């Protein structure tokens, strides 16, 4: 990013001067890098956004408004982050489709029977997260993808909590849309990706209008209107000057992750999670939500009896430990757990067993309050 700002700072796909051409090359190389990272078929399937939230909004507006109508149904699981609920609630009001919510068990696992009961020929899209941002539960995307496609629907996967933590192959998983964010994978904030299967892009209208997303804008003086033709994907969905440095930064972050190896990152996090859960279970005042087996990713939601999640987070903060508290933008899942909020410990590649021991010692101290 520093190199870009110091040596190549110019807009992309705009000028014929050297700086613009250099910036464009860095930008499109980053797109190719993301393509390989998730094993997409073609770089045109990679659309850059502000983050996973905008990626899901883009899907809801660009694909949803063009493909969903009254009597169509959208299936959403109740473990979803609000960013995979609200865009569909908004667009449902615009074009009249129906949202059906699929249950999650009190253990935080998808209720597959409820899914199979609710999916039908009316279902046009199924929306779910690969990994829950509250519990760390990893869903069986390949199996859910098959069921979805068997019913003629498409699958949107929120990969914000999976892409940074495990190897992802969109072709093997057979997902139609995959959204993820740069800031959750050691990249900068304000950059994200929407993977869209190429065959679906022709069924999508532009999400926003502006420069770069159009091929021609010709003014007809007699009719006093502009005739517009769209650019090809992915640029058709990238209106205006993009976050060029963010995209270059995302590619650098991916490079770093690749050097460590996504399988190694996953194994490390699962090892830390198992270690932490075993120790946390021995603390009498602590309740852990969701499954506690080794298949989950590096997230542990919990509460300490007699303390609010915010108190726990502030107490941990006093010892230099950063954890999230509240709903984690997933209020419906907290309703299922019947809790007012939760504290959430999460681990990544840089955490160690020693840090978990320290965290556990702090929890021991905190639960004496």
Partner 1 sequence: MPTIAAVDDYIARIEGTCGAESDIIVVLKFDKKDQALEKILKKAVLKSQIAGMIYDLRFEEYSFRVYASGKIIFKGIQNKQTLNRILAELLL
Residues of this chain that interact with partner 1 (CB under 8 A) are 308-311, 314-315, 317-319, 325-327, 334, 340-341, 365, 369
CA–CA dist 238, 191 (Å, integer)? 12
Q: How far is the CB of 340 from partner 1 (least distance, A)?
A: 3
Reported as type and span, the H/E element at residue 308 is: none
Measured CA to CA, the distance from residue 223 to residue 306 in angstroms comes to 70
At its nearest, how many Å lie between partner 1 and the CB of residue 366?
8
Query: Which is closer to partner 1, CB of 289 or CB of 327?
Result: 327
Between CA 316 and CA 68 the distance in angstroms is 46
| CA gap 59, 62 in Å, rounded | 5
Q: Give 228 or 369: the residue with its C-beta nearer to partner 1.
A: 369
Closest CB to partner 1 among 111 and 311? 311
Catalytic: 95? no
Instruction: Show the tokens assigned to 281.
Output: 């279970």
CB of 133 to partner 1, least distance (A): 14
214/307 with CB nearer partner 1: 307
Q: How far is the CB of 45 from partner 1 (least distance, A)?
A: 35
The span from the CA of 30 to the CA of 41, in Å, is 15
DSSP state of 138: B
Among the options 95, 127, 297, 329, which is catalytic?
329
- Going from the C-alpha of 352 to that of each of 123, 131, 357, the distances in angstroms are 44, 22, 9
Q: Which is nearer to partner 1, 59 or 303 (CB)?
A: 303
Helices (H), 76-213: 86-95, 112-118, 141-150, 170-173, 198-201
Q: Residue 324 Cβ, how far from partner 1 at the closest point, in Å? A: 10
Q: How many angstroms separate the CA atoms of 99 and 105, rounded? A: 19
Residues with a known catalytic role: 329
């Amino acid at each position: 990013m520093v190199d870009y700002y110091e040596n190549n700072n110019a807009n992309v796909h705009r000028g014929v001067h050297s700086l613009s051409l250099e910036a464009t090359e860095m930008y499109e190389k980053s797109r190719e890098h993301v393509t390989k990272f998730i094993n997409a078929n073609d770089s045109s399937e990679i659309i850059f956004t502000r983050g996973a939230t905008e990626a899901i909004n883009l899907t809801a507006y660009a694909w949803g408004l063009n493909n969903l109508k009254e009597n169509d149904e959208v299936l959403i699981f109740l473990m979803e982050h609000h960013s995979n609920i609200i865009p569909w609630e908004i667009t449902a009001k615009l074009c009249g489709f129906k949202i059906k919510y699929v249950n999650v068990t009190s253990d935080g696992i998808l209720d597959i029977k409820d899914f199979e009961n609710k999916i039908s020929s009316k279902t046009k899209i199924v929306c779910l997260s690969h990994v829950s941002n509250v519990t760390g539960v990893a869903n069986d995307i390949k199996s859910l993808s098959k069921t979805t496609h068997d019913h003629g629907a498409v699958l949107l996967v929120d990969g914000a909590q999976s892409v940074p933590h495990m190897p992802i192959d969109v072709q093997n998983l057979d997902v139609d849309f995959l959204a993820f964010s740069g800031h959750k994978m050691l990249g900068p904030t304000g950059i994200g990706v929407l993977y869209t299967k190429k065959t679906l892009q022709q069924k999508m209208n532009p999400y926003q209008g502006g420069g770069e997303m159009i091929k021609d804008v010709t003014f007809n003086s007699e009719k006093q209107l502009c005739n517009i033709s769209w650019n090809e994907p992915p640029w058709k969905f990238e209106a205006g000057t993009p976050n060029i440095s963010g995209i270059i930064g995302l590619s650098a972050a991916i490079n770093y992750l690749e050097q460590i190896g996504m399988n190694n990152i996953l194994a490390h996090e699962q090892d830390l999670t198992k270690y932490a859960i075993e120790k946390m279970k021995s603390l009498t005042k602590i309740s852990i939500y969701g499954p506690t087996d080794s298949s989950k990713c590096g997230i542990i939601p919990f509460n300490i009896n007699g303390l609010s999640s915010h108190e726990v987070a502030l107490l941990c903060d006093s010892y230099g430990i950063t954890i999230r508290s509240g709903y984690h933008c997933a209020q419906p899942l907290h309703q299922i757990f019947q809790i007012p909020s939760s504290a959430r410990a999460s681990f990544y590649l840089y955490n160690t067993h020693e840090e978990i021991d320290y965290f556990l010692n702090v929890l021991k101290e905190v639960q004496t309050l």
